Amino acid sequence: MSVLPSPPSVADGAEVADVEAWVAEHLGDLTREGPDGVRSGAFRGGQSAADAALATLDVTSYARTRSTVLPVERRGASRMSPYIRHGLLTLTEVWDAVADAQGRDRTKYRDELMWQEYARHLYARVGDDLGRSLRREQPRPPAWDEPWPREMACMDAVVGELHDDGWVVNQTRMWLASQWAVRAGATWRDGEDEMFAHLVDGSRAANRLGWQWTIGTGSGKPYGFSRWQVEKRAPQLCNRCALKKDCPVQGWPEADTGPSVDGPDLRKGEIPPGPAEVEGAGGAERVWLTAESLSERDPALAADADRPAVFVFDEPLLRRLRLSGKRLVFLSETLGELAATREVEVRRGDVVAELSGTPLAATYAPVPGWARRAAGLDVVETHPWPWLIRPRPAPVQSFTGWRKSLGR
């Protein structure tokens, strides 16, 4: 068993540098950058940061500016995704927070929240199969030497923001995916892994869905990244680009839709929802916290204010993924703040080995990793996942079809 000291709490006066140092010392060997390269990203972790973001959420002009890339101050993106991804805020809380917004902006923003819910329903349905092409093979144009050439000002800016901040707007996520697979002919799963490693809001559900719909393996129609999008969303980049007179993405990409594949069944069917009510006879000694649900309002955590909690940094998984330290700093800030208000034990190791034999309470998570680990643990009390829309049998071939089937 490897018990770690509690991470420093920024909410109680610690500096971000203190958390960076904690991650470097205890988890740095598992990061992409190594102990000497651990840095925070553009987002602060913790419930207080999440609640402050929600309290100041303003989606005025969202419908018009949500795809703006530059200048940064004109972006309409809400930047709520890291808090939603780690369960610090639920989709329902964010949905309700924009109830008084202007009609078109509210509708567009809630459409994005519905897309996040669709990603979760799809992932709950197909699990790890979301990591292989759903409907078609990707386009296979002649391969480039480098999928994201830093000589292109657009790629340099977006990749730099991804590496420094751990977050980019949806528009440029589409640029990166299309450039990698549709333009440069590189394998989409490798590109998705590369983006996922840096994103503070990285979830396999949303990231894989985004890549598959962008490059045509899920949608059947590739998104063609070209200079036109850059000049429309961030003309400053083309103006300063050394390749502006010899742009390699000047025209529309000549990429045909790939052939059909024998993917998972996406027609109407059951979507595993988890329990609708608390399941189990009780008797849990600890609350098992996961990266899917780290809120102080996590259902299993909130059910008993005196029950200790435990979080395990999954060493085998982190060693394989080699995530950027930015994500681990965000998680550690969150755990440090939580540990300042109640008993939270932080460990490093194999989750099942670390928690074996301990009666646990946990909040269900609609991801395959949760189910695999829960099967090897003594989870005696399972709390419902806070769905925006609780799953029922539905088709998941498309967002539109899924939504119609739910009457939404």
Per-residue pLDDT of 28-46, as tens digits, reads 999 999 999 999 999 999 9
Full-model pTM: 0.96
State pLDDT tens for residues 93-113.
999 999 999 999 999 999 999
Contact 326, 168 (CB under 8 A): no
What backbone phi and psi angles, to 5 degrees, belong to 210?
-60, -45
Q: Note if the bond before 391 is cis, omega within 30 degrees.
A: no
Q: Residue 1's pLDDT is what?
A: 58
What's the mean pLDDT in 356-368? 97
State pLDDT tens for residues 71-90.
999 999 999 999 999 999 99
Written as one string, the DSSP assignment of 257-286 is: PPPB------SSB------SS-BS----SE
Helix or strand (DSSP H, E) at 173: helix 170-177
Token couple for 384: 């419902």
- Give the whole-number percent of the chain exceeding pLDDT 90: 94
